[in-house]
Amino acid sequence: MKKLLTGNEAIARGFYEAGGHVAAAYPGTPSTEILENMEQYKEDIYCEWSPNEKVAMEVAIGASMAGARSLAAMKHVGLNVAADPIMTYAYLGVNGGFVFISADDPGMHSSQNEQDNRYFAKFGKMAMVEPTDSQESKDYIKEALRVSEEYDVPVLFRVTTRVCHSKTLVELGERTEVAKKPYVKNVGKFLAAPAHAKVLHVTLEERLARLEEYSNNSPLNTVEMNDKKIGIITSGISYQYAKEVFGNTASYLKIGFTNPLPFKMIEAFAKEVETLYVIEELEPYMEEQIKARGIKCIGKELIPNVGELNPDIIAKALLGREIRTIEGLDNLHDSIIKRPPTLCAGCPHRGLFYSLSKIKNVMVTGDIGCYTLGFTQPLNSMDTCVCMGGSISTGHGAAKAFKQAGEDKKVVSVIGDSTFFHTGMNSLVDVVYNKGNTVTVILDNRITGMTGHQENPGTGYTLMGDKTIAINIPNLVKALGVEDIQIVNPLNLKETDAALKKALEFDGPSVVITRWPCVLKKFSQEDKSEFGCELKKYKVNEDKCKSCKLCLKSGCPALSFDKYAKIDPDMCVGCSVCAQICPFEAIERVGE
């Protein structure tokens, strides 16, 4: 039976059909749906949201050591977090088959950089597989697990946004039950003491040589000989783009097993064609290695290494001609109203950022999440954002620098609840341990908001839908050594103002926890009990409105101005922040 699946759905299906046992991940675009879809196979596969990518990788590594076929999934920047265990696990080798997904985001649709994680495979001396569509995403997972077990190697399964989110037809198969391998204690293999690692490094180099032989004969690497004037070496989604541009007017070496590269195949293919192009997204990962072998080819001299590729870019770069693969796109662009990114109407973070916007002489270090939009106008309440969990420690460093220079400037670090569990906790330990004097604001909206409402350790539910212990953030913060802790409703501006003022006056590490559910969240029974769900809408009384526009400083997209302020009743959710800002009580609850 065939079914239309995204690449992420197909990866989950492939792991199921391959007899997979354990899967772990931290959500992050474009990888999130892999584990969301794995949940449907929970009768056969244990799956979990881990607090961060390093933990997810270690959970999967532990399962592999125990003999289970295991998988870890993450977006590309998540692999930076998980690099520590995987670089060593490459030395140790596997027991049960082990695959980890790196979902890269060319074009930075939802990321802070667009790094090319193919280099991780070469750097870490691991096997790498790259599918070009959903069918291959499903099929290649099976081969990756087989290769992992046969060659005793972790496999980096690299996909990009277009493969993750595009849908193509996939032939479904039945699950093949694969018994967990027996676990046998073997410290020489699984205990990475220096004496063991020195031996394992030699073994790893030998393994890479055998993997290159496999690569030259792998069914994942295929040649399509057509017209020989143009030959194209490509991989991943770039293959699909190249086919759209050149069709059968060129020959192709499509590489699905991309580390180690199949150099015998590459050399043979290069001899067959007149002009050789290497078409790959982002960095010249293959091109550099091919040129280093003395093989003449053309790549990044013409094809950009910034942003997402598409057929139009390739046609213009290599053929010098304009094509339009998506008709009507120009008109579509013209018809879309340009709008700056903004927090949702009713977002519980708006009150906090509005309060922060009124405080002078303060640096606000931010983090990764919806709340990063606190930097936008008119709130303008965030100075920095580097990486997941980084706000607290960068704020600590800045505060120490200000103090050392004798500058009287306070620092507020803001971080979401899921991000706090991710890596923020360690940073708060650093602030406490090193006698920091910053204010940390934990924005607890009761869910992992930006990636689509995944559960986290604070919500009380697991990925598989089981009720579990909800980690109590105030108790956790207290256990980390913070003495000054306040919990506020961020929709109450007076309460939020007072909490920030008190925290900034406190001499030592201070934490403010803003606690209110994401406006888009489906309330759990616990949410209904704690917060209720009856928020009335608001409207502007034009007889009282003085046209001062102060309410617009909240940045709420439900507000507009035309002689008087207006509230879109379809967008208003009754958070009341604008009503609290209005000095003339011109914004009133509907029905009162």
Pairing between β-strand 127-129 and β-strand 257-259 as defined by DSSP bridges: antiparallel
Are residues 226 and 202 part of one domain?
Answer: no
Are residues 211 and 140 part of one domain?
Answer: yes
List the domain range (segments joined by +) for residue 547: 538-589
- Which residues does the annotation place in the binding site for [4Fe-4S] cluster? 545, 548, 551, 556, 572, 575, 578, 582
First-to-final CA distance of the chain: 58
- Which residues does the annotation place in the binding site? 545, 548, 551, 556, 572, 575, 578, 582
Are residues 185 and 39 part of one domain?
Answer: yes
336 domain residue, yes or no: no
Q: Please report the DSSP string for 375-419 in residue order.
A: GSTTT----EE-STTHHHHHHHHHHHHHHHTT---EEEEEEEHHH
Angle in degrees, CA 376, 436, 357, rounded to 5: 20
CATH number at residue 584: 3.30.70.20
327 domain residue, yes or no: no
Q: Would you say how long the chain is, in residues? A: 592
pLDDT value, residue 565: 95
* Domain limit, last residue, from 196, 217, 238: 217
* Domain limit, last residue, from 531, 550, 579: 531
Peptide bond into 85 cis (omega under 30): no
328 domain residue, yes or no: no
pLDDT value, residue 506: 97
Both tokens assigned to 509: 């590490």
- pLDDT tens, residue by residue, 443-480: 999 999 999 999 999 999 999 999 999 999 999 999 99
CA distances from 178 to 20, 146, 171 (A): 8, 11, 21
Q: Number of folded domains in the chain?
A: 4
Are residues 194 and 179 part of one domain?
Answer: yes
Are residues 45 and 79 part of one domain?
Answer: yes
Both tokens assigned to 51: 């607090």
Are residues 354 and 411 part of one domain?
Answer: yes
Are residues 142 and 92 part of one domain?
Answer: yes
Both tokens assigned to 409: 């400037």
Are residues 133 and 36 part of one domain?
Answer: yes
Are residues 267 and 143 part of one domain?
Answer: no
464 domain residue, yes or no: yes
CATH number at residue 315: 3.40.50.920
Are residues 518 and 434 part of one domain?
Answer: yes
Pairing between β-strand 70-75 and β-strand 98-104 as defined by DSSP bridges: parallel
Q: What is the pLDDT along the chain (592 residues), one digit of tens a residue?
A: 999 999 999 999 999 999 999 999 999 999 999 999 999 999 999 999 999 999 999 999 999 999 999 999 999 999 999 999 999 999 999 999 999 999 999 999 989 999 999 999 999 999 999 999 999 999 999 999 999 999 999 999 999 999 999 999 999 999 999 999 999 999 999 999 999 999 999 999 999 999 999 999 999 999 999 999 999 999 999 999 999 999 999 999 999 999 999 999 999 999 999 999 999 999 999 999 999 999 999 999 999 999 999 999 999 999 998 877 766 666 666 666 677 789 999 999 999 999 999 999 999 999 999 999 999 999 999 999 999 999 999 999 999 999 999 999 999 999 999 999 999 999 999 999 999 999 999 999 999 999 999 999 999 999 999 999 999 999 999 999 999 999 999 999 999 999 999 999 999 999 999 999 999 999 888 999 999 867 789 999 999 999 999 999 999 999 999 999 999 999 999 999 999 999 999 999 997 6
259 domain residue, yes or no: yes
337 domain residue, yes or no: no
* Domain limit, last residue, from 197, 217, 237: 217
Are residues 519 and 376 part of one domain?
Answer: yes
Which residue in 250, 236, 241 sits closest to 286, CA to CA?
Answer: 236
Do the Cβ atoms of 380 and 357 come closer than 8 Å? yes
Q: Please report the DSSP string for 144-212 in residue order.
A: HHHHHHHHT--EEEEEEHHHHH-EEEEE-------PPPPP---HHHH---HHHHHHHHHHHHHHHHHHH
Are residues 115 and 206 part of one domain?
Answer: yes
CATH number at residue 380: 3.40.50.970
Say how far apart CA 501 and CA 398 lie, in whole Å: 20
Stated pTM of the model: 0.94
Do the Cβ atoms of 326 and 313 come closer than 8 Å? no
